[in-house]
Amino acid sequence: MDENMDLNKQDMNMNENQLNNFMEAVENMDLNKQVFEKDNELESDTEDVLQEFANPNAVIEEVTDCMKTPRATLYEQNETPGGSIYWEPHVEGIRIPVEGTWYDTVDEAIDMYSKYAEMGGFEVKKSGQRLTKSGVVKHKYIMCNREGVPKGINVDTLDPEYSEKQKRNTTTHVTGCKARIKLVLDIVSGRYKLDQFYPKHNHMLIPKEYKHFTKKQRKMTQAEKMFVVKAATNKIGATRAHNLLSSMKGGYEYVHGTTDDFKNHQRDVNVFIGESDAQMLINKMENRKTYVPNFTFQYRVENSELVSMFWADEVAKCNYKEFGDILSFDATFNSNKYNMKFVLFIGIDNHRKCVTLGFRMLLHEDTKSYMWLLTTFMTAFLKEPTMIATDQDGAMKRAIKAICKQIYNETDLKERFDKIVWDMFIEPLKFEEKWAKLIEDFDLQNHKWMTKMFNIREIWIPAYFVDSMLFGLMRTTSRSESENSFFKSFTSPGATLVSFMMSYESAMERQRYRQEALDFKTIEASPKCETKLPIELHEARVYTRMIFSLVQTEIIQGCWTCTIQDLKINEGCETVIIRDKNPNDKTTLNTKKGKEQEKKSGTVAETARDYKVLRIIEDDDSLFLLSKDERRMDTYVEKLKILLDEVKADMPNPASRNTGDVIGGIFSTSKPNQVDVKNPTKVVNKGEHLKNEERLKSEREKAIKVKAKAMKVCGYC
């Protein structure tokens, strides 16, 4: 009896289930019928609309053109009987999650699901987990990153307390997606089983064309982070660096990160350095002093703040030994955020190019700082230079102009002064005669500045040291000004000290590379001799190309413009009197100008460029050989990926990807735990305009002043 009642009950349940299924089918049929009727209504409405236009073909063409607009490739989407839409990725060629699969570690399962997500068009995030008493993961969820419920922000603009509060017009990424996997630990084996796998997503998946915008693909590599910092050392900002790298790689989709990511990385670098700027630089230089042979570094601190630095490497010391007879000494401004002056000692090498012989930074341009600087300079180089050219042109111009504006503007004082001072062929006695005549003509006998400058004439008038060796190569500080301009192409006013040091190293690499290119040009080819004189053949062997071209010009001019006027022999000593056909010609060795000189400088640049191109082709020879064989190129790339995965798996202690560790690796120094030397306090650059109670006006102030002037009007107005 009980069995019959149970059977009847089961039949009733089955009948009820069948009835429910039947009713759902009928409802679906009704829905489909309604959809069909609505489609017919839309078609009839479309025909009515088309009939309203005089030329319906134009409308059809317009609609067709709109449909030709490129669309994103959508993944396959499905619809449930209830009408909800879901997306399910379809991937091939990789392992897909299958319930019941076993994994040795949680990381192995996460790696599998991450690859599946990357191919499928979504991103993952780690979610909740449960641990055992010993701290081992027992349950672990890895979910779609759009899981969750968006947080609501309620702002009542009518409430006086929140009336001025603005609500951000932003978007939300979470949609409550349930796609996930669940890992369960098997206590016996210690392995993890994929217990649950839900593949359906309630949002559209990311098309292939936009995968490079995902969070994973936007994660910058170490090489790209280094590229951003290195570009900044060459005065290339984050935006231009991103454009440049995209061009090098063949497209923006091949660069990890957007322009904003590059900017954010540069911001992270500056934040990381922060208040440890001076201490980080000192630690880096002290470390270099320990490991780099013959490297000198000294610094000075006042009130726990860095005020002076001096450093010189072995190459600079070797250059000073060879080319340190005549130096140009000057300071450049606006090279860092603290307004520390970058002081350079410039010499001239055997190619007549500028060579930097010493490097130092000063916060204050006072006597104490310069005394410390020169003392450390002599300690490092152990030899005094023959002559040092410094800059006083600005002060001299202001002083002369301040003598008397009427005399300065309405007489020939300036012209006569320049002819007396800058004539390198004048004798000292002749200079003193012309100076006295100038003072007498303009009644300047009691002028303090003119008297002071005459008393120290031996240290600044060319007539008094014209006989010094190599004086003709450097008569003014134009060499220093040229090098200041050269270094400013690498540095920026807002640079930190650590960044400035990297910019300085890039500048020195370029300068020394230029010297190597000129040395290579001298070695790889011999110059053409114009005469058969033994002296010219000898000079072609011992001189560099640039110096030989200058000396060769003198030899040729000597052969044609100079003759022996008299020869006397007195007690074994020969006296030869030479007559110059052009006695009034005071041209220097710089006689070749124009196209020929431009051609020579162009040859050096072409040699360096060709050498660089050859190096690039040699380094990328494998890609060049496979560029026309797509199949082998794909095989080559796959093998590289496999090799990279093997290297990653075999690395016992992989490098840290922490932001601080990465930035510390770029600058070759870590952030100190304790800061003993503080950053310098920003100072105002010293100048003569401050002494005269004047200040430098900005371009904006000048423009406002010009605009404020009364406009000229005609007689009718």
Confidence of residue 143 (pLDDT cuts 50, 70, 90): very high
| 332-335 LR contacts (CB < 8 Å, sep 24+) | 332/484, 332/487, 332/488, 333/685, 334/488, 334/493, 335/487, 335/488, 335/491, 335/493, 335/495, 335/500
pLDDT band at 603, cuts 50/70/90? very low
**Per-residue pLDDT for 434 more than 50?**
yes
Residue 65: pLDDT over 60: no
| Token pair listed for 540 | 């072609």
What's 469-525 look like in SS3?
Answer: CCHHHCCCCHHHHHHHHHHHCCCCCCCCHHHHHHHHHHHHHHHHHHHHHHHHHHHHC
Q: Is 74 helix (H, G, I), strand (E, B) or coil?
A: coil
Q: Using CA atoms, how far apart are residues 87 and 205, in angstroms rounded to an integer?
A: 7
CB 91 within 8 A of CB 116: yes
pLDDT greater than 50 at residue 134: yes
Element (DSSP H or E) covering residue 569: strand 562-570
* Between 717 and 629, residue with greater pLDDT: 629
Q: Is the pLDDT of residue 29 over 50?
A: no
Residue 197's pLDDT band (boundaries 50, 70, 90)? very high
End-to-end CA distance of the chain: 123
> Cα–Cα–Cα angle for 555, 558, 560, nearest 5°?
115
pLDDT at 400 over 70: no
| Strand extents, DSSP E, 37-166 | 77-79, 85-87, 102-103, 124-131, 137-144
For the chain, give the mean pLDDT.
75
The answer on pLDDT for 7 being more than 80 is no
Q: Is the pLDDT of residue 194 over 90?
A: yes
In 313-353, at which residue ranges do the beta strands (DSSP E only) sit?
A: 326-332, 341-348
Q: For position 191, what pLDDT does the model report? A: 92
Domain ranges (residues) in the chain: 2-69, 85-213, 222-275, 393-466
Element (H, E) at 576: strand 573-580
Counting residues of the chain whose pLDDT is more than 70, the rounded percentage is 71
pLDDT of residue 439: 84
**Whether residue 182 has pLDDT greater than 70:** yes
Q: Which residues sit opposite 564 in a β-bridge?
A: 578
For 240-297, the pLDDT digits (tens) are 999 999 998 888 888 999 999 999 998 988 888 888 899 999 999 999 888 888 899 9
Task: Please report the pLDDT score of residue 504 as a whole number.
Answer: 87
Q: Given this model, what pLDDT does residue 600 score?
A: 34
Task: Give the pLDDT of residue 587.
Answer: 45
Tell me the DSSP string of 213-275: GSTTTTS--HHHHHHHHHHHHTT--HHHHHHHHHHHHTSGGGSSS-HHHHHHHHHHHHHHHGG
The predicted pLDDT at position 648 comes to 76
Whole-angstrom Cα distance, residue 289 to residue 373? Answer: 18
What would the pLDDT profile of 499-533 be if each residue is shown by its tens digit? 888 888 888 899 999 999 999 998 888 888 888 88
Q: Check pLDDT > 90 for residue 656.
A: no
3-state secondary structure of 580: strand
pLDDT at 685 over 90: no
Instruction: State residue 362's pLDDT score.
Output: 86
Beta strands in 374-477 (DSSP E): 387-389
User: Which residue would you say has higher pLDDT here, 191 or 599?
Assistant: 191
Q: Which amino acid is at 377?
A: F
- State mean pLDDT over 534-556: 89
